Amino acid sequence: MKKLIFVTGGVCSSLGKGVTASSIGALMEARGLTVRMLKIDPYLNVDAGTMSPYQHGEVYVTDDGAETDLDLGNYGRFTSAPLSRENSITTGQVYKTVIEKERAGDFLGRTVQVIPHITDEIKRRILLVRDAPDVDITIVEIGGTVGDMESVPFLEAARQLIHECGRQNAISVHVTLVPSVSGGEIKTKPTQHAVKELQEVGIQPDVLVLRSKDPLDDSVRRKISSFTNVEFEGVISAYDLPTIYELPLVLNKQGADAFILKKMNVESRHAELGAWREVVDKIKHPARKVRIGIVGKYMELHDAYKSIWEALCHGGVANNAGVELVKIDSSRLEDANAKLDELFANIDGILVPGGFGERGIEGMILAARYAREHKLPYFGICLGMQVMVIEYARDIVGWEDAHSTEFSKTTTHPVVCLLEEQVNVKNYGGTMRLGANESVTKPDTKIRKAYGAERIVERHRHRYEVANTARPELEAKGLTISATTPDGELVEACEWNDNPWGVGVQFHPEFKSRPTKAHPLFKAFIAECVKQNEAKAGQ
């Protein structure tokens, strides 16, 4: 029978359930097994698309256009499991489906209740992923913390599936906190209480992943084992690491993957982890270092640009270079007293990521101008490309009020505007240009060289496009339109000709980057930044 692994969290949030689930997935794949990943989010939103980055971090987009939780990004970076809207479940989706069925009379007049109707819908969605052809193991991460009111129906559905499938076919992995107090004394009581709460909903954990600052010794693990009815081999120490990509190696060293497979009675080959060891070694011991200035809108919350940070790290791994991230709030550049030469001192490249809303836009435009004029490598993503076009239209073409209609309704030179089909959109959930779209790259361009291919497929998430009415003048003044949609109607990438690497793309390449296979654009961008750094060092 196909196997299920449920990953839950106790004590508090943000313990790393997503990275734990992803690492288990990576280990299962390293043993030759086929994995699927599934995230359950207990919020009432139907998806993450309309949520502020400050509320829930970045929105991760799948090929089929689903706007999902950022943990799916971890799944995509750690495993090769395909991701779609089926791999993301929210309370909003579940209740919406059940209510629509009730309105249609599908329940034949019966009283609709959390049990069995809500739990049955949750189970249906989990089994839809598990029962896909050629799948060996499905890993289900349940968001939130055990004890949260919102998580109760999902935990009940998990309990039912563990009971129905049998303990060899469905197991529980519980991530908890083992804090230390003043003097460094380790406290196991929070974990004991967290396990008790899980047991109270009818789930006995098979594996405990203990989050702590430092590695836990065997005496602590044995104490927790005796209090929780979890075998000693299943009590795993997951301590703070220099990089999250080391966690699969740490889990493997403690035998976590072997124990999980034993519990599920699954035979597999020895884990092949050479690629992960190489990644970790290059992150911890890079041959060189570069400093990348990221000029964005949501710098206060690290998770708002999670995939960007990781993709830059991957680009560093591909070039055996450590990447230092210099986060710059774009609003700072708009201050009349801002000294750009000081802000960008010792910066080897500038990246302007995506975002929504007017705040900080002029600062992004100044960053693009600084990169162009000082011939610094520049990488504009989504809004970062639009900013690049606006700056070029103002300074090179001479349209001083050039702007996007997203930010200025009165501009006489709208170089970025809504597509016609977006003009009258009133419902903002899932109505942008979303998911995988094909683009055609032009010969003799930086983007063609990076990909080594004429046709590419990348994921989009935006409403605004470069205005076709502005394209002739922009191109006449030297801006290269380096990629378009297959019909040539929409601009997908543009480049500065007199810059070592001035590239802007309308799509989001960061979503397809992995530590073991950096995205071609991030690999090429960091490579050029390395050249800049070495050239400055040689002066």
Active site residues per annotation: 382, 508, 510
What's the CA dihedral at 353, 310, 511, 26 to 10 degrees? -170
Strands of the 349-352 sheet, one edge to the other: 321-329, 288-296, 349-352, 378-381, 502-505, 491-496, 479-484, 433-441, 455-462
Q: Are 23 and 247 in contact (CB under 8 A)?
A: yes
Distance CA 244, CA 451 (A): 27
E strands of 50-169, at which residues?
60-61, 67-68, 88-90, 137-142
User: What tokens were used for 297?
Assistant: 């809108």
Residue with structure tokens 């750690």? 78
Q: Are 46 and 90 in contact (CB under 8 A)?
A: yes
Conformational region of residue 137, where left means phi above 0, alpha means psi within -120 to 50, and beta covers everything else: beta
Closest-CA residue to 58 (of 311, 298, 296, 358):
298
| Residue 61, C-beta contacts closer than 8 angstroms, at least 6 positions apart | 67, 68, 434, 435, 459, 460, 461, 508, 511
Indicate the burial class of 227 (C-beta count within 10 angstroms; 0-12, 13-18, 19 or more). middle
Q: Is the peptide bond before 116 cis (omega within 30 degrees of 0)?
A: yes
Relative to beta strand 137-142, strand 35-41 is parallel
Distance CA 441, CA 492 (A): 9
Distance CA 281, CA 277 (A): 6
Residue with structure tokens 């050479």? 274
Name the packing angle between helices 361-373 and 383-392 (round to 10°).
70
Phi, psi of 523 (to 5 degrees): -60, -45
CA distances to 75, 354, 386, 459, 465 from 53, in Å: 19, 11, 20, 19, 22
CA distances to 65, 81, 501 from 459, in Å: 8, 17, 22
Residue type, 190: P
User: What tokens were used for 355?
Assistant: 């975002």
Indicate the burial class of 343 (C-beta count within 10 angstroms; 0-12, 13-18, 19 or more). middle
C-alpha radius of gyration, the chain, whole number: 25
User: What tokens were used for 178?
Assistant: 């083992």
